Amino acid sequence: MTKVTKREFLIVATGAAAAALVGTPNVALSAERVQARIDEFLGGQTAQEGGLTLEMPEIAENGNTVPLSVSVDGEASENRYVESLLVLADGNPEPGVATFHFTPMSGEQRAATRMRLAKTQNVVALAKMNDGAVMKAETLVKVTIGGCGG
């Protein structure tokens, strides 16, 4: 077991605290990161509204565990299926929430999970189809108690 002096501990703790303060999320930076992730996912395509459903509570009393469900209309088949589905939260320190992958054998094109939300913010879902089309759904979730340290 390595012994740590009080001085070494304070140096490390002070550095960690400073790094945490410097790393405090900036809303403008987060919005830029979300847009960069969206642009990367779209790959030059334009996202279409409709065909993708994002279900979340309008008000989340506690941002630590917010349910979300996202689904694409219709059953998966060889001719039409979701290749990947991306969920982003534009106000979180790390906006990427989840990525789901499907195959023609997936049947129902639906995913459900829980997520953390730091504060009131938009949640965006994008679904890339096997033919290259991209669908988009977005919703605003009002958070009364933040779940990412907020």
Model confidence over 34-77: pLDDT tens digits?
889 999 998 888 899 999 999 999 999 889 999 999 999 988 88
Asked whether 37 and 95 are in contact (CB, 8 A), the reply is yes
Indicate if the alpha-carbon torsion angle 112, 115, 120, 123 is positive or negative.
Answer: negative
pLDDT of residue 3: 75
What pLDDT, on the 0 to 100 scale, is given for residue 8? 65
Domain ranges across the chain: 7-143
pLDDT interval class at 12 (50, 70, 90) = low
CATH topology of domain 7-143: Immunoglobulin-like (2.60.40)
**103 near 97, Cβ under 8 Å?**
no
Q: Which residue has the tokens 């913010």?
A: 121
Percent of the chain with pLDDT over 70: 79
Q: Give residue 18's pLDDT.
A: 46
